A and B are shown apart, each in its own frame.
Chain A
Amino acid sequence: MGFLKTFTLGGIHPPENKLSANKFIEVLPIPPQVMVPLGQNLGAPSKALVKRGDKVKAGQLIASGESFISANLHSPVSGTVFKLDNVVDASGYRRPAVIINVDGDKWEDGIDISDKLISDINLTAEEIIQKVKAAGIVGMGGATFPTHVKLMVPPGKKAEYLIINGVECEPYLTADHRLMLEKGPEIMVGIQLLMRALKVDKAIIGIENNKPDAIGHLTELAKSYAGISVQPVMVKYPQGGEKQLIKALLNREVPSTKLPIEVGCVVQNVGTAFAVYEAVQKNKPLIDRIITVTGKAVKKPSNFKVRIGTPLKFLIEAAEGLPENTGKIIGGGPMMGKALFSEDVPVVKGSSGILLMPVEESHRKEEGPCIRCSKCTEACPMGLEPFLLARAARASRYDMAEKERIMDCIECGSCQYTCPANIPLLDYLRLGKNKVGGLIRARHKK
């Protein structure tokens, strides 16, 4: 393969631990009750359209995205709305959700739930975007930005490339990997739909080189589609960061505080491409997703296809139970995932994995003094100085933090991973970003 593309600044090499890479996607049975949080996307939460006692079918619209950055929400199951209540979600806060008692599995009319591949595309860009919007699709990589907004290129800008993110650089996670292996043709059609929606004729699928089977499979498939190519990239975290991936594939750098469209790119996750396929070709809204359940002590690391709203404990049970020495449940991967309060948290559109960490790996090591080794600076993929930003945040020097570009931080955690003194750099960086973000917003209001 020779020279592999990658981003140039920083990066780390955490152990990959892809325990579930060879596990076929299993369809998980529908639980007796689902909890569907209303705020599953970045931006404004969806507005509920159902009330207690309403009968719903799978795929029926139950909450609508009303503001510009928001997304529709559909019932993942058929049954009766039990109540609208606050439930603890992945954030740890109680947030509004629709709780539905399941009854059978009846689907909304017009949804094609067969496995038949429909590859003919006969819709215009606007029609595709409308269908994506109606289906409530958000970025499936975890950021959950409403996809239809991303597909509407702002006036004055032009998209040149569609970049499909199949990197999956988070250790342990294999959901995208399995999807690429098992739903290749569907992803290809999804990519074509996205290309048409964006009016671009070039799409590049970036995949980390630790997934040669997926690279081979999609490269083979891509031969029959004009404009789609597959590009293996070096295994280096955070290769799957939007800006890092664009840098690796095209050697373009998204300017500070700007979006990828600034350099002619739109990045979509492979999971999103698949969801777009289902929405446009099969009329199926986003009501299920692939999620990895894994961990070193997990008996059966798995990839499951589950309905949104399924409590995590059903997934953990399907992976043969919570290991006894579990000290931490992480929603997502070990680098950017969130530690969860309980197993009762529901699966949402942005859930990519559940990682069960043994007690001995759950605690941070004791913090020591900074020895100015500059490893954090070397590891930062954004060219920042995490030690300095953390110090500024610690001392409430938010002016300094802003000047040193704290808002460029993508919160990948590479600095903290590499710090020999175990300083919780990212904690301080998040604090600093939060405060600086608030100051910037306040300035704009004046």
Chain B
Amino acid sequence: MLTISGSPHIHGDNSTKKIMYGVVVALMPAVLVSVYFFGLNAVRVLLLSVIFSLFFEWIIQKYLIKGPVTITDGSALVTGILLAFNVPSNLPSWMVIVGALVAIGIAKMSFGGLGKNIFNPALVARVFLLVSFPVQMTSWPKAAVLPMGLADVITGPTPLGFIKEGLGAGKSMAELTQHLPSYMQALVGQMGGSMGEVSALALILGGLYMLRKKIITWEIPVSVLLTVFVFSGILWWINPGKFTDPVFNLLTGGLMLGAIFMATDMVTSPMTRGGKLIFGFGIGLITMLIRVWGAYPEGVSFAILLMNSVVSLIDRGFKPRRFGARPGVELIK
């Protein structure tokens, strides 16, 4: 029997699974760092988040939709890890499970499953948890080295929260910066924060891996980071007594995690180069507006979700450069 089908008759070795598990590999350095600094609690949150993300996807696909079960495609695994990355490591277990249900059940499956969701599932869950349980979601364990216990963790604010609170209380920047982590500590991840966001270094490492494997392209991370750098740089240049410096802004909060892993989520980001650049610019801008003038100390999640909502508009406005669209006839000798 001969097979008849249209061309092309060969296919590259790319697959959805390969992309998703590639992201999982890229997340590993940050996973290791989170366990290193937050100990068994980090392991607990990670496992719960991953297991229940997979579980909710399985149960919804099997019993609610009664369709094919695709939990091995890696996408729920990625969502699970990213959700864990976006919460403090001391978050009560049941809240993590609620988060997984919101991420998979509401943000992903109710839109039609993989590829159809408008908003990044892990971020929807994070914001849901943040507005529902503001206390638990903002009590950050201090990053120690390999804390083995599950209880009695010392909590403290994130650097961004510390600055915002301090400035609000009328303290001077010079006074506040003494208590901030050094750039080196911030780079490695020795500071308060959600368990996956603290180490810029580990996240950048994962980002470079994804770039190399062509899972992501440079446009979104670069435009997010550049926008934040330039925006905060201008403010800092105008008044260093009132605003934090641009490097601090890059290294703290959820910016690296957001720019490298959340904003680059293929499903919820634009399709063309121009669109990706404007998308990243929007995220950077909204992040800074919230950080500087908003009620919350950090705004990356809100910024990404807001920009998620305009992706289809961006896609409509930003088309690839069409071949033969430019009339210019030039000659290279």
Q: Footprint of B on A, CB under 8 Å? A: 9, 12, 14-15, 92, 171, 243, 247, 250-256, 258, 263, 326-330, 332, 334-342, 355, 357, 359, 361-365, 368-375, 377-378, 380-385, 387-388, 405, 408, 411, 413, 416-422, 424, 426-427, 430
Contacts and interface: CB of A to CB of B under 8 A. Distances in A.
B113 interface: yes
B149 interface: no
Contacts of B114: 368-369, 371
Interface string B1-40: 1111111111110111011000000000000000000000
Nearest to A405: B322
Between B1, B320, B323, B330, the greatest number of chain A beta carbons within 10 A of the residue's beta carbon is seen for B323
Contacts of B331: 250-252
Given A371-B16, A372-B271, 7 more contacts: A9-B323, A255-B327, A256-B323, A263-B329, A339-B6, A357-B9, A405-B322
Given A384-B322, A430-B6, A371 B332 contact: no
- Interface residue tally of chain B, by bracket? 35 or more
Contacts of B5: 328, 339, 364
Contacts of A421: 15-16, 115
Contacts of A427: 6
Nearest to B266: A373
Contacts of B6: 339, 424, 426-427, 430
B92 to A, nearest CB: 33
B325 interface: yes
A426 B324 contact: no
Given A255-B324, A382-B322, A341 B2 contact: yes
B53 to A, nearest CB: 17
A255 B114 CA distance: 38
B3 A362 contact: yes
5 contacts: A15-B10, A327-B2, A335-B10, A337-B9, A377-B271
B212 interface: no
Contacts of B75: 371
A377 B9 contact: no
Contacts of B9: 328, 330, 334-335, 337, 339, 355, 357, 361-362
Contact of B10 (A341, A361, A424): A361
Nearest to B332: A251
A355 B319 CA distance: 37
A408 B11 contact: no
B10 A383 contact: no
Contacts of A326: 2
B7 A336 contact: yes
B67 to A, nearest CB: 11
B16 A372 contact: no
A264 to B, nearest CB: 8
Contacts of B179: none
Given A369-B113, A372-B271, A380 B4 contact: no
Interface string B247-282: 000000000000000000011110110000000000
Contacts of A416: 8, 11
A247 B328 CA distance: 12
A384 B320 contact: yes
Given A339-B2, A371-B16, A427-B6, A408 B332 contact: no
Contact of B4 (A243, A341, A370, A377): A341
A11 to B, nearest CB: 11
A263 B15 CA distance: 39
Q: What is the interface of chain B mostly: helix, strand, loop, or mixed?
A: loop
A413 B324 contact: no
Given A369-B116, A372-B266, A375-B14, A253 B326 contact: yes
B311 to A, nearest CB: 9
A364 B18 CA distance: 17
Contacts of A364: 5, 11
Contacts of A327: 1-3
A65 B326 CA distance: 37
Contacts of A255: 324-325, 327
B115 A383 contact: no
Contacts of B272: 374, 377, 385
B265 to A, nearest CB: 9
List the 10 closest A-B pairs by CB distance, nearest first. Answer: A413-B8, A369-B115, A383-B322, A374-B271, A362-B3, A420-B14, A256-B324, A382-B323, A334-B10, A334-B9
B73 interface: yes
A178 to B, nearest CB: 22
Contacts of B15: 365, 420-422
A382 B325 CA distance: 10
A157 B12 CA distance: 41
B66 interface: no
A254 B330 contact: no
A62 B251 CA distance: 78
Contacts of B323: 9, 243, 247, 253, 256, 381-383, 408
B177 to A, nearest CB: 41
Contact of A336 (B8, B18, B116, B271): B8
Interface in B190-231: 217
B124 to A, nearest CB: 17
A92 B19 CA distance: 38
Nearest to A337: B7
A340 B9 CA distance: 12
A377 B324 contact: no
B332 A418 contact: no
Contacts of B330: 251-252
A365 B14 CA distance: 11
Contacts of B11: 364-365, 416-417, 419, 422
A371 B266 contact: yes
Given A330-B9, A335-B8, A418-B14, A385 B3 contact: no
Given A252-B330, A372-B266, A377 B8 contact: no
Nearest to B276: A374
Given A14-B10, A369-B115, A371-B19, A9 B4 contact: no
A302 to B, nearest CB: 20
Given A368-B73, A375-B14, A380 B320 contact: yes
Contacts of A336: 7-8
Contacts of B70: 368
A405 B12 CA distance: 25
A7 to B, nearest CB: 8
A342 B115 contact: no
A413 B8 CA distance: 5
Contacts of A380: 320
Contacts of A339: 2-7, 9
Contacts of A363: 3
